[in-house]
Amino acid sequence: MISRRKLIVSGFAGATGLGAAAALARRYNLIPPDRNNLFVAGETLTYATQRLLTLHQPLAREFDRSRISNVFPVNGDPPETEIYERHVAENFQNWRLTVDGLVAHPFTFALDDLKGLPSHSQITMHICEEGWSYIAEWTGVRLSYLLNLVGAQPQAKYVVFHPFDKNWDSLDMADALHPQTLLAYAMNGDPLPTQHGAPLRLRVTRQIGYKSVKYLSRITVTDTLKNIGNGLGSVSPDLGYSWYAGI
C-alpha cells in the first residue's frame, strides 16, 4: 500500500521528485493510456494522484428529486447508421449488448435481460466539458454487477465501451467497479430517450460528460488498450481531449 503522503511528497518535490513519481506511477499502473511518459504530462500526475486519493471509492454527490433539472441538453446526436436507425425503428427489440474479452462467460444481453437484473437509480449531475451541466435521474444496472456476472478475470485492467458511433472510450477498473458507474436504460423514469443514448448508455459520475458513452453496442474487458483503435484508450486523444477526465 502506498501512503497519500508518499505520493504527495513525490508529486510536489518538483524536478527531483519527478523520477520518483514516474517510478511510483509505473509501479502502480497509474500512467494513463494516452501518455507514454510521465515527463510530457502533468496529466499522469493528476491521474495518479486522484487514483491514490480516491482508493476508497468516494461517491459523487447525489441530489434530491426536487433538484432534477428542467432542461436536458444533448451532446452527440444519434448515430446516422443504417443499423442504429433500424434498432430505433424496431424499438430495440433486436438490439443486443455483447460483453466479451477477459471474462469467464462472454454473453449477449437483450434489453429485457438487462432490465431483469437488479436495478439501481441515482440522481447525479452530468457535466459536459463545454461548460453546461444538468441533474437527472438515471436507472440501470451497475457495471460492477454485470462484470461479476460474466466473470471478469483478475488480470482485467480496463473496460472498453463500443457505441454505434465513433465515440468509443474506456475506464480503468477503479471507475468500472465504482458503485455509481451505471449502464443506464432509463432517465427520469422513462426509457432512455434516443438522443440521450438509447437503448443503453454508460454513466460515470466521477468524470466529465464525454466519458459517459451513449448508444452502446459492445463492452470488452481487457488488460491492454494498445491493440484497440488508436491504442490510446479512447477517441478523445484524437480530438485533443485526455483519456482521463476526472472531476
Ligand X SMILES: Nc1nc2c(c(=O)[nH]1)N[C@H]1C(S)=C(S)[C@@H](COP(=O)(O)O)O[C@H]1N2
Q: Least distance from C-beta 145 to ligand X, angstroms?
A: 21
Residues between 142 and 201 with contacts to Mo ion, criterion CB under 5 A: none
> Residue count at the site for Mo ion (CB under 5 A)?
5
Beta bridge partners of 96: 110
- Tell me how far, at minimum, the Cβ of 229 lies from ligand X, in Å: 14
Judge contact between 181 and 144, C-beta under 8 A. Answer: yes
Nearer to Mo ion, 161 or 210 (CB): 210
3-state percent breakdown (helix, strand, coil) of the chain, nearest 5: 30, 25, 45
Minimum distance from residue 108 beta carbon to ligand X (Å): 20
* DSSP bridge pairs for 222: 158
Q: Which does 76 bind (CB under 5 to 8 A by kind): ligand X, Mo ion, none?
A: ligand X
Of 11, 140, 197, 209, the one binding Mo ion by CB under 5 A = 209
Residue 234 contacts residue 168 (beta carbons within 8 Å): yes
Phi, psi of 145, deg, nearest 5: -65, -45
Residues lying near ligand X in the complex (CB under 6 A): 73-76, 126, 128, 163, 165, 167, 196-197, 209-210, 212-215
Which residues are CB-contacts of 132 (< 8 A; sequence separation ≥ 6)?
73
106, 99 in Cβ contact below 8 A?
Answer: yes
Minimum CB distance to ligand X, residue 241 (Å): 9
Binds 9: which of ligand X, Mo ion, none (CB < 5-8 Å by kind):
none
Parallel/antiparallel/unpaired status of strands 96-101 and 107-110: antiparallel
Q: Is 46 in the site for Mo ion (CB under 5 A)?
A: no
The answer to whether residue 128 forms part of the interface with Mo ion (CB under 5 A) is yes
Q: Residue 160, Cβ neighbours under 10 Å: how many?
A: 22
- Choice from 50, 54, 75, 188 touching Mo ion (CB under 5 A): 75
Q: Return the C-alpha torsion angle 175, 176, 181, 185, nearest 10.
A: 150
161 binds, among Mo ion, ligand X, none (CB under 5 to 8 A by kind): none
Partner interacting with residue 180 (select from ligand X, Mo ion, none; CB below 5-8 Å by kind): none
Binding interface with Mo ion (CB under 5 A): 75, 128-129, 209-210
